[in-house]
Structure 1
Amino acid sequence: MGSVRKASAWLGLVEDNNDDDRYYDDEYAEEAGDPWVTDPRVRVASESAQDQGRRIATITPDGFRDARGIGELFRDGIPVIVNLTSMEPGDAKRVVDFAAGLTFGLRGSIERVATRVFLLTPADTQIVNGESSGRFQGGFFNQS
């Protein structure tokens, strides 16, 4: 099935005659409640942090089907740390591609913070690099 036909089938414009369920799992669709609240692989800050707008989610997906949770959190304006260290390389690449498209579409940014660990930040979030040139030079650990 070609890319255009796949996209059309995904949008519901044409009938999908392909029985390939790589992108959708019935068990995942039947889960009740918020998937990132009950899923032990996902942690979101407390309600008080939510009130102050200081929430960050960390997600360690097992497969590409967990990309939906990443997208929902990011779409709600929550920065997401995605840890892909436990995934197969092929699925990890698909999640990175999805995250790159997600951040581009919502005008956010994606940054690699470690090997196979990425930070997705919404458009209204500023990333502060800890290695600024204006840092205090006579610091506590200066042994000269």
Structure 2
Amino acid sequence: MSMKNKFRSFFWDDDYEYVEEEIEEENVEEPSPKQRSDKKQEQGNVVSLKSAKSSSKMVLSEPSSYNEAQDIADQLVNRRAVVINLQRVDHHQAKRIVDFLSGTVYAIGGDIQKLGTQTFLCTPDNVEISGSISEMMAQEDDISRRW
């Protein structure tokens, strides 16, 4: 009795007989191109890399009023990352825009990060952000205080 059979009889105490078969490479047939295309159609949830690449976009936005916040939110809902420059709006409207977009980002499970003094990055859940700019911003604040 081989070691494999002893092992099998120790763990599986049944009346089944296990037979190992070797596959001959000569009998294996390559599927024709038509059979391959039929298999691809059956799988259904295969996404080509070209379509995945073209669907990821980043939008740059520089709103001039609070009324444009909904257009930015629509971009986020359509799974596009948005960089927002708030230098053209006054402080009160900029705060309202950031509050509105924070709610939108929360609702879609995304993220919002401050990139600069009046620049923000809003991302949907399909975009991952790595790294942090807060350390660099703190260093810039220290430098500006010295002058």
Structure 1: gaps spanning 5 or more residues: 1-47, 132-144
Structure 2: gaps spanning 5 or more residues: 1-49, 134-147
Matches within 5 A, 1:62-141: 62-129=64-131
For residues 32-87 of structure 1, the C-alpha deviation after alignment (integer angstroms, 9 at most, x for no partner) is: xxxxxxxxxxxxxxxx9985233100100000000111011000000000110111
Q: Which has the higher helix share?
A: 2
SS at match of 1:70: helix
TM (norm. structure 1) is 0.54
Mapped partners of 1:78, 1:102: distance in 2: 13
Mapped partners of 2:99, 2:84: distance in 1: 12
Aligned to 1:53: 55
Mapped partners of 2:94, 2:65: distance in 1: 8
Alignment-mate amino acid for residue 91 of structure 1: Q
RMSD: 2.2
**Larger-gyration structure (1/2):** 2
Identical residues among aligned pairs (%): 25
Decide whether the 8 Å contact of 1:63 with 1:87 is kept in 2.
yes
SS at match of 1:126: coil
Decide whether the 8 Å contact of 1:49 with 1:55 is kept in 2.
no
Mapped partners of 1:49, 1:66: distance in 2: 29
TM (norm. structure 2) is 0.53
For residues 4-53 of structure 1, the C-alpha deviation after alignment (integer angstroms, 9 at most, x for no partner) is: xxxxxxxxxxxxxxxxxxxxxxxxxxxxxxxxxxxxxxxxxxxx998523
